[in-house]
Amino acid sequence: MNTRNSLVSVLMLVCVLLSACTSAVPATQVPTSLPPTAAPTVIPPTQAPVAIESAVNLNQVADISNSAETVSVDFLNNRIPLSAFDSIWFLSDTQGRVTRWDPETRQILATIEVGDPGKAPYGVPVVAIATDDALWVASVAAHEIVKIDPETNQIVKHIAIPYSGDNFYTSNMVLAGNTAWVWDYDKKLVQGVSLDTGQVVASVGNVKSIGGFEGSFWYSNSEGTVQLDPVSNQVIKQLPSTHPIPAFSADGSMWGFSKAVIFRMDPQTGEFTARIRFGTEIDDVKFAGGSLWVTVSPGAPPACHNGSYLIQIDPKTNAATGKIALDCPFDIIPYQNGLYATAADESHLELIYVEP
């Protein structure tokens, strides 16, 4: 009897417990298993910026010649001038001299003889660069780089440009750090010469062109456009062969040009973000006063006496906003709040000053 009563008590307790469990989970809310972890979303790679094509129609560009001033000078210049030490330095490869000119007084401050143009295939001098304390000029005939002290306007140092074999004729020179990169157009050879020691720190062959951009040395070859680290001289970036060497940065972009096209590039990827086409060959592009300035001409004299212009481009819209007719334009020299454009042929030099 006692055993039977105990069994009944246990059964009643189990029923009570089961009833409590059933009431805790209503039949309409039966738990379900968790869904499997979702596969990660595949994010497509960032698309390259779509190049914005535009063409400059000079017939539709406003004439802004009333904002320009013509300054006549009595010296020659037929190479790229250089702005440094509160002066503009002009190079005449037919006279073998550098002329230092003061933009404020518009007077010649010095004339420095650097070599015999008759002893070089392309004349002397052909190119100059500036460091913090000096102007350095390639004396092609003597196969050397000469240092000009801006305090005395005298040559104070000579650095020989070595080359085992035929003579090395400098066609262009670019400064990166304290290394002068000199390029022989005929040999397609570039040598990095330390301005401290005078020693060659690196050599690169098969080089089509050279340039400097934000302290680094750039060159182009059949494989592309290459940037070297200014300290290690190792390749740190290579752009496709369709890309020009970057010339300057403005409005958050890199800019370069080739033939009759200006290229705007993303500074991180090098991708084209704009291409501005001109119907005439580009001579030079510079950034000054918040605008891009472009010189174009149809060719060497006498062709460039007509159809040559200095053109203003708004970098925010990539559109031409003004033009000034020039006689054989050559180079653009930003100076303080304005710029000078050189207009020259074999017999004279004119400077066109524009203050935007």
- Cβ neighbours for 272, distance < 8 A, ≥ 6 positions apart: 49, 51, 243, 263, 264, 265, 266
What residue type is assigned to position 336 of the chain?
Q
**pTM flag (> 0.85):** no
Q: Is residue 62 within 8 Å of residue 321, measured between CB atoms?
A: yes
- Tell me whether residue 114 is exposed, middle or buried, using C-beta atoms within 10 angstroms of its C-beta: 0 to 12, 13 to 18, 19 or more: buried
CB atoms within 10 A of CB 326: 27
- Cβ neighbours for 227, distance < 8 A, ≥ 6 positions apart: 213, 216, 217, 218, 235, 236, 237, 238
Q: What is the model's pLDDT at position 51? A: 61
Q: What is the model's pLDDT at position 95? A: 94
Helix (H, G, I), strand (E, B) or coil at 157: strand
Backbone φ and ψ for 305, nearest 5 degrees, come out as -70, -20
- Tell me whether residue 67 is exposed, middle or buried, using C-beta atoms within 10 angstroms of its C-beta: 0 to 12, 13 to 18, 19 or more: middle
Q: What is the model's pLDDT at position 344? A: 77
Backbone φ and ψ for 88, nearest 5 degrees, come out as -115, 130
Q: Report the chain (356 residues): mean pLDDT per 10 consecutive residues.
A: 41 38 36 33 39 91 96 91 96 95 96 93 94 96 95 97 85 96 96 96 95 94 92 90 93 95 93 95 95 95 93 94 94 93 81 92
- Cα–Cα distance for residue pair 15/22, rounded to 1 Å: 10
Q: What is the model's pLDDT at position 164? A: 72
Q: What is the model's pLDDT at position 31? A: 32
Q: Name the nearest CA neighbour of 156 among 112, 205, 92.
A: 112
